[in-house]
């Protein structure tokens, strides 16, 4: 240590109150920058830098961009449209209890890609290509419950925080220029927008948490949670085919995924029964 360093250390050791005050300021600054909260359903402690309003803005901007780009593919009538609206409405009502400020909206896009996603703040996109896989309302509720759980558990904001990109994301939201093109691309990739080749998948533990929360959400919305097991088994089978669905590449459905979901079933069944007796 340099003589100067030794001097500073000696000064602080001799004056513990000043050292304590400095530590308190440092911790206080970090505390200000991130909110400490618990995830819905799983009650995991997490730390998130972006506010709900900032997350909504980030998601809404991306949503508007997608709808502009794929305007010709928007489906606004027919049985697929009706099913997506019907199921999303019930899942959104459940998710809104955990995130009352989010503004929920779903759009169905005509594309063969088997995928769906929910942006931070509650904007959902479903591709028609996933409907043959979800097969019925409960199957679609499994997918929407899972995707919406990524939003209510603030998984994107959490990833942004972990990668020390909160300031960059805040600058993007504010329309500022305090970021490089690669930082911008990185934040957009973290949104996990399905279909974008550059999108970064959620972590394994976030995927598993979205399965858990999603299962309870679908049950609270009045869908039999056993149908989720059937859906993930269908996914497992489909992912072993020649051309696995895109949803399967972000959501590798192995034996363990199905086992975990089976283990959460009793909790989901209680939610399902409580919902039916209401
Ligand atoms: Zn997921």
pLDDT tens sequence across 79-133: 999 999 999 999 999 999 999 999 999 999 999 999 999 999 999 999 999 999 9
pLDDT in the model for residue 174: 85
Distances (CA, A) of 196 to 152, 214, 242, 251, 262: 22, 23, 21, 15, 31
Rank 17-31, 143-157, 227-241, 244-258 by mean pLDDT and report only the highest: 143-157
Distance 35 CA to ligand 1 centre (A): 23
Average pLDDT, the chain: 88
Q: Tell me the average pLDDT across 199-205.
A: 87
Distance 248 CA to ligand 1 centre (A): 10
Positive or negative, the CA dihedral 175, 180, 181, 186 is negative
Distance 209 CA to ligand 1 centre (A): 9
pLDDT digits (tens, 9 = 90+) for 155-165: 999 999 999 99
Indicate which residues carry an active-site annotation. Answer: 147
pLDDT band of 251, cuts 50, 70, 90: confident
Query: Greatest CA separation found in the chain?
Result: 77
Work out whether strand 123-127 and strand 116-118 pair parallel, antiparallel, or are unpaired. antiparallel
Distance 192 CA to ligand 1 centre (A): 9
Give the residue among 215, 214, 194, 204 at the shortest CA–CA distance from 256.
Answer: 204
Distance 202 CA to ligand 1 centre (A): 6
Distance 180 CA to ligand 1 centre (A): 28
Inform me whether the pLDDT recorded for 25 exceeds 70.
no
List residues, by chain if needed, whose CB lies under 5 Å from ion ligand 1.
207, 210
């Amino acid at each position: 240590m340099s003589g100067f360093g030794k001097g500073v250390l000696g000064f602080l050791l001799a004056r513990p109150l000043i050292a304590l005050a400095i530590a308190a300021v440092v911790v206080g600054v970090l505390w200000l920058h991130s909110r400490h909260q618990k995830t819905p359903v799983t009650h995991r402690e997490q730390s998130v830098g972006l506010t709900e309003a900032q997350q909504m803005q980030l998601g809404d901007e991306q949503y508007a961009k997608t709808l502009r780009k794929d305007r010709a593919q928007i489906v606004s009538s027919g049985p697929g449209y009706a099913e997506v609206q019907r199921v999303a409405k019930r899942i959104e009502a459940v998710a809104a209890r955990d995130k009352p400020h989010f503004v929920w909206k779903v759009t169905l896009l005509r594309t063969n890609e088997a995928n769906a996603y929910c942006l931070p703040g509650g904007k959902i996109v479903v591709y028609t290509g996933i409907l043959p896989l979800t097969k019925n309302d409960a199957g679609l509720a499994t997918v929407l419950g899972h995707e919406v759980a990524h939003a209510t558990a603030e998984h994107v904001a959490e990833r942004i925080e972990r990668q020390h990109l909160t300031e960059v994301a805040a600058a993007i939201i504010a329309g500022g220029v305090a970021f490089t093109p690669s930082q911008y691309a990185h934040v957009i990739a973290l949104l996990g927008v399905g279909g974008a080749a550059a999108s970064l998948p959620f972590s394994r533990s976030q995927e598993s948490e979205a399965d858990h929360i999603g299962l309870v959400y679908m049950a609270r919305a009045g869908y039999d949670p056993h149908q989720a097991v059937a859906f993930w088994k269908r996914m497992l089978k489909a992912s072993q085919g020649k051309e696995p669905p895109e949803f399967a590449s972000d959501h590798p459905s192995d034996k363990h995924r199905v086992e975990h979901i089976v283990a959460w079933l009793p909790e989901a069944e209680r939610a399902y029964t409580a919902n039916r007796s209401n």
